[in-house]
Structure 1
Amino acid sequence: MTGSALEAVRARRSWSKVTDAAPTHAELLTLVSAAGRVADHSSLRPWRLIELRGADRERLGRAINKANDEKGSSSKPLRAPLLIAVVASYKKSGKVPRWEQEAVASGVAHVLSLLLDEAGWGVIWRTGDYTRSKAVAKAHGLEASEELLGWLYVGGKPARERLGRRKAVDARRHVSRMPGGKGTKRASGATVEPEGL
C-alpha cells in the first residue's frame, strides 16, 4: 500500500526547534480547509483555530506567567513564529457528546499538523497545565463553552538539524480482535488462529 497520505504520516515528526519562517495566512487557510474534512458526527464543526503571530505571542507569554502566579512574560510562545491555538468549541447536541466533539477538534489539529509538515513546515503540538487556566482562556477570548487543547508551534525546518529515527510502532501490540471467540488476541495473551467472519 502506497500513497501520499501514508508517506506523510510515516515521515511525520515533531520539530521542537524551528526557524523564523512561517506559512502565510492564505497558505494556512488552504490547509485548514482540508483539515476540516475530518469525521464530524452531525457536522457540528465543534472547533476553531486562533493564529498567534508577533506581539500575540508576548501577550500569551504574560498570560502563561499569570496562570503560574509569576511576574513578567514566559518566553515559551517565542519558540516559533506562528502558534495555532486549538480550541474545542462545544455545540449543544442531543446526539453528539462532549468527548466526541473534543475528539473532532483534536482530529482537525492532528491532520493540520500533518498537512503543515508535508508542506515543509516544522510543527510540534504543545500543551501545559495552563491551557485550562482563566488567564490563558481570557487572552484567547474563549467563550464559556470552549476549551483550549494546546497550540501547534509552526516554523521553518532547520536545514542542519539531525533527524533522529523514530521507532516504528509495532501495530500487533495495539490491534486485537473482540474478546470471547476464536481468533482473539490480546496484547499480552496467546493467539488463536482466526476463523473467517
Structure 2
Amino acid sequence: MTVTTVRPALDAVRSRQSWSKVTDAAPTRDELIELVSAAGRVADHSSLRPWRVIELRGNDRRTLGRAIAKAEKDDKPSTKPLRAPLLLAVVASYKKSDKVPRWEQEAVASGVAHVLSLLLDEAGWGVLWRTGHYTRSKAVAKAHGLAANEELLGWLYVGGKPERSRPSRRKPVDGRAHLGRMPGSPDAPGELTEWRGAGLGKKAKKAAKKAEKAAKNARS
C-alpha cells in the first residue's frame, strides 16, 4: 500500500483545523449518530467501548455554564458553553477488565474524540476541542450525570464554518522529529543525531545522545 492509496484520508487529516468561532448552524442528531458510529471504530482492546458522548444544545449549555461557575466559585454563570450551538461532551466510561488498564481505556475515549472531530470537520463543520481544570470538578460531573466510573475529557464545540473567518493555524509537523528507531538498530545509523536537533527537550536530547552512543558501540 502506498501513500497514494490513502490520499483522501491523508488530505482530510492534513487540512483539519480548529475553529474558535462558529455560526449557529449545527449537525442534526441523525447526522451525529452516523459520525459517532464511525468514530467508534477506533482501536479498542477487547472491544470494551469505554466511552460515550453527551449532546448539549439549547439550555443544556446554560446548565453547563452554571456548573462551571460553581466549580470556579463564580457568582455569574460561565458564557463559554454559549460559544457554539452544539457541544459534544466526550466521556471516558471505564469498564472492569483484567486485560485492559484504565489508561488504555482513556486512550480509546480520547481516540474517539479525535476521530469524531476529524469527521465533523470533513463533513463541513467547524470544531474545537475545549478542556479546562473544571472538567473533573464534581459540579460539572453532576451536570452531565456522570457515574462513579466515568470522567469527562472535554467538549467538542461544533457549529458552522464562517465564510469570512479563518481557522486557527498550526505549524506543520515534521515527522522526522517524531519517528525513530530502537537504540542500536543497524538499519538507521545517524537517526538519533537527527532527533537531537529536532526540537527535543534537554532530557530527551540527553537520552537520545546516550542511546546514540550505545548504538555506535553495538555496531562496532
Q: Do they fold alike, i.e. is TM over 0.5?
A: yes
- 2:170 counterpart (158, 166, 172): 166
Q: Deviations over 1:110-157 (max 9, x none)?
A: 000000000000000000000000000000000000000000000000
Q: Would the alpha carbon gap of residues 23 and 79 (structure 1) be closer, same or farther in structure 2, given more than 3 Å must change? A: same
CA drift of 1:168 comes to: 1.3
For residue 164 of structure 1, report the CA deviation from its aligned partner.
6.0
* 2:97 counterpart of 1:111: no
Question: Residue 102 and residue 159 in structure 1: after superposition, are their counterparts in 2 closer, same or farther (change >3 A)?
Answer: same
Greater C-alpha radius of gyration: 2
Q: State the TM-score, normalizing by the size of structure 2.
A: 0.84
Question: Would you identify which runs of 4 or more consecutive aligned residues in structure 1 move more than 4 Å?
Answer: 189-192
CA 1:177–1:93 in 2, change beyond 3 Å: closer, same or farther? same
Counterparts of residues 44-123 of structure 1 (less than 5 Å): 44-123=48-127
**CA-to-partner distance for each residue in 1:157-190, whole Å, 9 max, x for gaps?**
0001135653210110111101123325231068
Pairwise CA RMSD: 1.7
In structure 2, runs of 5+ residues without a counterpart are 197-207, 216-220
Aligned residues between the structures: 193
| Larger fraction in helix | 2
Find the aligned partners of 2:168 and 2:77 in 1 and give their Cα distance: 32
Q: Does 1:176 align with 2:170?
A: no
Unaligned runs of 5+ in 1: 193-197
Aligned to 1:48, what secondary structure does the other structure show? strand
Q: Identity of aligned pairs, percent? A: 74
Provide the C-alpha distance between the structure 1 equivalents of 2:184 and 2:102, rounded to a whole number of angstroms: 31
Question: Among 108, 123, 129, which residue is 1:125 paired with?
Answer: 129
